[in-house]
Amino acid sequence: MTPDSRSDDSACAGGSRGAVLASLPVPGPSPAPLNTRWQRMTTSLIHRCWNRVKTRGAVNWEHPLARKFGSMGEGSWMAFPPGDCTNAHAIHIGANCFIGAGVTLAVGMPTEVYAPGCDPVIEIGDRTTIGKDCWFVARHSIVLEDDVTIAPNVYFTDHNHTYADPWLPVGQQILQGHPVRVGAGTWIATNVVILPGTTIGRNCTIAAGAVVRGDIPDHSVVAGIPGRVIRRWTKADGWVPPITNEVVVIEGWPVGIPPEEAGE
């Protein structure tokens, strides 16, 4: 057999196989492997169960766990999963508040016990909203007045370690504290730190990432580390410096009323 004849035979054989394969039915899409289907089913089941757990795990003002607090006003609720909560009887929550998942409400150090019926240490005013994963660490007094809005990951504390003794580990040195107060209507953006002795006025805006200590006047905008007032409104001068971006007024949106007109 010559090389040419072998090539012809191979070509014929290949052509025959191609014709046979072409005549076979084309299979449809293969079913997903069992492990992929099982993974999708498991993932879907986990999400459905988790959503149900979050709904059932939330604590509202009627829940038996709400009785552990000094008070929780009607319409208030805490999302699931909650953060740590210590000495809850020293925490008072107003009406129609929302406290996000993972918010820590800690009164006292781990070994400190506050007597039942003690004065409030953490007070949260009516209609206040607290984003997830915020921290409130109090030994003296942290007060949020009404209508305060707090973004996630904000840290509040009313005490800190001293460091005067150069030989004693700082964590073992005396704690000093001063009360913290946030005025009504204030908005605190994400990742802000509020330090001991801070008093923030009414309707202030605290920019993201600011570290705030000291007295902040009403209607102030605070930014930076350390936080400083970068804009303020007064009745005499309005906003200084002026607001440059145009605010589009939406029909039907609520409009604020000056205190003197509201009878306050």
Residue 29 in domain: no
Burial of 164 (0-12, 13-18, 19+ CB in 10 A): exposed
Q: Is residue 138 part of a domain?
A: yes
Across the chain, mean pLDDT equals 86
Question: Is 256 inside a domain boundary?
Answer: no
Q: Is the pLDDT of residue 125 over 80?
A: yes
What is the mean predicted confidence (pLDDT) over 195-210? 97
H-helix or E-strand spanning residue 42: helix 34-57
Q: What is the model's pLDDT at position 24? A: 56
Asked whether 92 and 120 are in contact (CB, 8 A), the reply is yes
The CA dihedral of 151, 154, 159, 165, to the nearest 10 degrees, is: -160
Average pLDDT score over residue span 26-49: 71
State residue 230's pLDDT score.
97
Q: Are the CB atoms for 128 and 144 separated by under 8 Å?
A: yes
4 pLDDT more than 60: no
Q: Identify the top-confidence range among 166-175, 215-224, 241-250.
A: 215-224
- What span, in angstroms and rounded, lies between the C-alpha atoms of 198 and 181? 6
In a domain, 220, yes or no: yes
Query: 125 is written with which tokens?
Result: 């005013």
Q: Which has the higher per-residue pLDDT, 25 or 207?
A: 207
Q: Which of 63, 161, 178, 219 is catalytic?
A: 161
Q: Assign 30 a pLDDT band (cuts: 50, 70, 90).
A: low
User: Which range, of 47-56, 71-80, 117-126, 167-176, averages the lowest pLDDT?
Assistant: 47-56
In a domain, 50, yes or no: no
Report residue 75 CA to chain centroid gap.
19
pLDDT digits (tens, 9 = 90+) for 133-172: 999 999 999 999 999 999 999 999 999 999 999 999 998 9
Q: Given a cut of 50, is residue 227 above it in pLDDT?
A: yes
pLDDT band at 5, cuts 50/70/90?
Answer: very low
The mean-pLDDT minimum among 114-118, 152-156, 202-206 falls in 114-118
Residue 13 lies in a domain: no
For residue 109, the model assigns a pLDDT of 85
CATH classification of the domain holding 165: 2.160.10.10
**75-108 pLDDT tens trace:** 999 998 888 999 999 999 999 999 999 999 999 9
Q: Which two tokens stand for residue 202?
A: 């009414």
Say what the pLDDT of residue 6 is. 47
Q: Which domain holds residue 178?
A: 60-243
**In this structure, is residue 49 part of a structural domain?**
no
Burial of 131 (0-12, 13-18, 19+ CB in 10 A): buried
The total of other beta-carbon atoms located within 10 Å of residue 72's CB is: 27
Indicate the number of domains in the chain. Answer: 1
For range 208-224, the mean pLDDT: 97
Q: Is 178 noted as a catalytic residue in this protein?
A: no
| Position 26 in a domain | no
Residue 26: the pLDDT is 61
pLDDT of amino acid 248: 83
pLDDT at residue 244, as a whole number: 85
Residue 117: pLDDT band by 50, 70, 90 thresholds? confident
Residue 189 pLDDT exceeds 70: yes
